[in-house]
Structure 1
């Protein structure tokens, strides 16, 4: 998440290209058919979670962002190798083409000419500026990259195809984090949303079913908890694409049901599949399994430091000594998940020298708690001040590997005298309301990764506590904040790498999070679906949905 999840890769110095290939790109090569691309037909995609919003920046759900990619066109988009391309923009802004100022505070975007909304009306710089200012407004409720948009000082539109964005402070990652992919930003039609108050938009019918969009498809039908159907947008800027006449996202929030749908041919494609069913997916006739050979998605357990027990660094340290991360990756992921000690996997920020970052020592964990004033009760759990050391462990419901890890961790923490209550939620509730309120969780497990830049200030910045950012750990460390400032304001990749490495060491020293492992995302597709090439980053499965076709 953030997110939910998804995000990941590289951005070299902004003065060279601002776009580099993802070093850890998975083996998701483009699927093809003998006849090559052709127009017509439909694809039914099995969507594991119900999107909680269909408007930019109003969701941290991966599956909402994936669905948005079918209906909204961004200024820029990233491919499955980590390269950023122009979409509505006529070119990727760089220092060389005048799109990025030397002080990293001004970004200029030129739009393609003749852009239209799905209803045929002009899409102009005025719409882009309106949307930037809308998302910047705290009443809108931006969730994913709110901090990026708060850094906007002003937006100018000198002509209908030019947008000039002025920032209050330098931000080397602004292009990658705030302007790339619809999960971060896509223009909204001012003619429709301009008459609404920012606070009312998230609650409007448009959040469930936007009628005027800009992407390859327009929504023609949506039934809550069942499906979202879209038909080809005749005014799409890449016309005659998309190749497909229709795309349907079938909501199937159960992995067993999703497997049955693949086996019966009821769905053509599905992503974020269950590792426990990998061999079964491989056995489905006329379907192909693809997954990241070099993963960038990471699973982690976040500690909520507003909890009195977890505010104690010795309790957090004891937990890291009690949880066997190797057993999680080996027993659950069958050896294809690997250790990590940071959230920069696959990027220049990653620090492999930190591995291994934890020492498994349950006896030392118990001694640490005893030395911290905890007393073992007759029930086998520690107490302090008359209160049992009891914590809630929460994640998304219905995901088998997480349920397995919860049970393992529950048992491992019981061995050192910590009582764990497992309380899971539907994904839209977990990411939409639970992780938005510090009182509703103690320890939260979910997957994440970065976008096209390893900047992670919304996760760890001292000014990113809920609801201003996504610092769900409520952790503030002054040295860590200094490193975040350095990586955000430096154009030199070597300087940013040094800052990230120190930030990771600060995190490991204080344990606001416990890194579990990095793992590959698994997808399966009907062999008749061409150009199906899920990405380890960005909008994941649907990054190139306009290129999908059916043979």
Structure 2
């Protein structure tokens, strides 16, 4: 299957299900030796609650698991729970204020100790501790209590009706931690627990043998995994670092690796790699959006390291004329063409999928340099001294634009810098190693959470097919700060009471059409009011070796969601 064919199919169905292989034999656990995985953005932690980086969430999904997760079609499936609670089966109360999860019987952690409801309750307490700096705290929004009437029952109570209760403990971003291991790590101690964060005990198919941050993870099959004969692989060599080009070649041309994630490469490069004959690209469109985040605070270094991402407003990005002109100056169809080809579409929304949630109110598909200039002129931003840079009230439009190191992103930076300079905005470019940029290290000045720049570019997505928790990342209290150990998903530090109130309305609204209407309004609000500039709706593109069976690309959860089902073909 060519990458073009795969992506065209994905456009039609939203989530492409790659050709399934039937495991021709069932045998002993570990029968197929080693599987080699490469993520060119190297994981920095195996605790997904301490990082918003996809690389960290997905590597951790080999080890720690949620109560339920989403399959390759976006359908919620029970995982550690015996079934998905609904109103019909009695798991959700009629008034939508309570959800009861029943755990599968006989579950044990990889160390052989029982997995119980107490671990689930502990995970809630761990992430919601006010001093903990949990990156996934939005998943627990609206919960008033988590109770455990017995070892197999978890009762989640909400402060008001929750029509969509599948955020906490669902998907790769919200797995369960073992209380016995993480009990010393609650609150401010969370980031100091290196042993736990680098080697969590889990219920997943693999256990950590060695974790070298920003480098290699060595894992072996969990001897206590709940399914007989799984995983088929005895060990995992999980290599991090390098670049997307080298990762793709390592699977499709040299055969050194079996799976390469996130091949953010130009279409002609993927096609050339595929000619190597050793691997197959797999692709699908979910909610992944490449965007430029706009800093709503003042990044001036003179403010000091803690203040510069807290003090507001931004000197000039608080002016709608500036950020709207910046958006108008961008030629998105050209970005799609040079960066992604069939793996991209013009992106005007923060939430582009599922289709029912995608707004049609914003049209950003046509570049308008003259219109951008006129907008800045009308707002009083003029080039008074003829140096090519507009200014107003002594403030010049000079932007520091940062992103992770990646060939496509550097191409985007160069083009956007040129367009912004054409409308009178001077632009300095900076790129940071992806493992550092997305690493979540509270001590590093170079993380995307710290955001010590005016604008920064990256992409992320959300688990599942309902964007409620994802849209919650625009809430005022979800901004990273010193008080949260720089964790939090409101990266732009956007803060609007109207947005917060509308999100609260979404959280209590039932019915897909009504929820979709509110979600679209939230999407439009954060874009129109200066939270971000969407660029490209990206397809996920990875590659697997032709000898690797069982792979089902999942755009709604971790790509490694079903690694327990992977196997070696012909062996």
Q: In the superposition, relative to structure 1, how do residues 389 and 344 fare at CA in structure 2: closer, same or farther (>3 Å)?
A: closer
1:95–1:340: structure 2 CA closer, same or farther, 3 Å change rule? same
- Cα 1:228–1:124, aligned 2, differ >3 Å: closer, same or farther? same
Deviation at 1:275, TM superposition (A): 2.4
* Secondary structure of the structure 2 residue equivalent to 1:46: strand
Contact 2:248 2:543 in 1 (8 A): no
Alignment of 1:512 with 2:515, yes or no, is no
Distance 1:441 1:101 in 2: 46
Q: Give, in angstroms, the shift of residue 526 of structure 1.
A: 1.1
CA offsets 1:321-377 (integer angstroms, 9 cap, x no match): 211112111222225411233233232543353362365221221222222222313
CA contact (8 A) 1:61 1:428 kept: no
Q: C-alpha displacement at 1:94, in angstroms?
A: 0.9
Contact 2:44-2:213 within 8 A present in 1 as well: no
| TM-score, scaled relative to structure 1 | 0.89
Which residue, out of 110, 127, 130, partners 1:135? 127
Q: Is the 8 A contact 1:36 1:530 kept in 2?
A: no
Cα deviation for residue 319 of structure 1 reads: 0.8
How far the C-alpha of 1:184 sits from its partner, in A, is 1.7
Q: Deviations over 1:62-106 (max 9, x none)?
A: 111111111112211211110111111111111112222233321
Closer, same or farther in 2 for the Cα pair 1:474/1:195, shift >3 Å? closer
Partner of 2:190: 201
- Which of 447, 458, 467 does residue 459 from structure 2 map onto? 447
CA contact (8 A) 1:374 1:382 kept: yes
The whole-number CA distance in structure 1 between the counterparts of 2:426 and 2:114 is 59
Partner of 2:395: 387
Structure-2-length-normalised TM-score: 0.86
Quote the Cα distance in structure 2 between the aligned partners of 1:28 and 1:366: 45
Match of 2:302 in 1: none
Q: Give the superposed CA RMSD.
A: 2.4
Distance 2:317 2:33 in 1: 53
Q: Tell me the distance in 1 between the aligned counterparts of 2:15 and 2:425.
A: 38
What's the CA shift for 1:510?
2.8
Task: Output the CA distance in 2 between the equivalents of 1:477 and 1:34.
Answer: 52
What aligned pairs does 1:14-413 form with structure 2 within 5 A after superposition? 24-32=13-21, 35=24, 39-144=31-136, 146-175=137-166, 177-186=167-176, 188-210=177-199, 212-262=201-251, 263-276=253-266, 277-292=269-284, 294-306=285-297, 307-347=314-354, 349-351=356-358, 353-354=360-361, 356-357=363-364, 359-376=366-383, 377-397=385-405, 399-413=406-420
Distance 1:106 1:287, change over 3 A: same
**Other-structure match for 1:7:** none
What corresponds to 1:544 in structure 2? 562
Separation of aligned partners in 2, 1:424 and 1:275: 17
Measure the CA separation in 1 of the matches of 2:360 and 2:123.
Answer: 42
Structure 1, unpaired ranges of 5+: 1-21
**Which blocks of at least 5 consecutive residues in structure 2 are unaligned?**
1-10, 298-313
Aligned partners of 1:343 and 1:450 also within 8 Å: no
1:135-172 CA-to-partner distances (Å, cap 9, x unmatched) read: 1112222103x133253222211111001111223333
CA distance in 1, matches of 2:36, 2:65: 21
Say which is worse superposed, 306-315 or 360-369, in terms of deviation: 360-369
Size of the aligned set, in residue pairs, is 524
Task: Name the CA distance, whole Å, in 1 between partners of 2:359 and 2:121.
Answer: 41
- 1:235 Cα deviation from its structure 2 partner: 0.9
Q: Which moved more, 1:329-338 or 1:278-287?
A: 329-338
| Partners of 2:496 and 2:190 in 1: CA distance | 35
Tell me, yes or no, if the aligned pair for 1:140 and 1:198 is still in contact at 8 Å: yes
The Cα offsets for residues 431-473 of structure 1, whole Å up to 9 and x where unpaired, read as 32533335x1211211122321121332222343334742222
Post-superposition Cα deviations, 1:506-541, rounded to whole Å, max 9, x if no partner, equal 3443342211121212111111110012211211x2
Q: Tell me, yes or no, if the aligned pair for 2:63 and 2:201 is still in contact at 8 Å.
A: no
Corresponding residue of 1:417: 424
Asked whether the equivalents of residues 402 and 453 of structure 2 are also in contact (C-alpha less than 8 Å), the reply is: yes
Please identify runs of 4+ aligned residues in structure 1 that moved more than 6 A.
none
Deviation digits for residues 195-220 of structure 1, max 9, x if unmatched?
A: 44432232222344325322101111
Larger RCO, structure (CA 8 Å, separation 6 or more) = 1
**C-alpha contact (below 8 Å) 1:291/1:521 kept by paired residues:** yes
Aligned with residue 427 of structure 1, among 425, 434, 439 = 434
Q: Indicate conservation of the 8 Å contact 2:362/2:524, yes or no.
A: no
Quickly say closer, same or farther: Cα 1:148–1:170, change in 2 above 3 A. farther
* Structure 1 Cα separation of the partners of residues 527 and 471 of structure 2: 16
- Does residue 523 of structure 1 match 2:557? no
Task: Measure the CA separation in 2 of the matches of 1:546 and 1:114.
Answer: 18
Match of 2:516 in 1: 497
Q: Which moved more, 1:276-285 or 1:454-463?
A: 454-463
Q: Which residue of 1 aligns with 2:301?
A: none
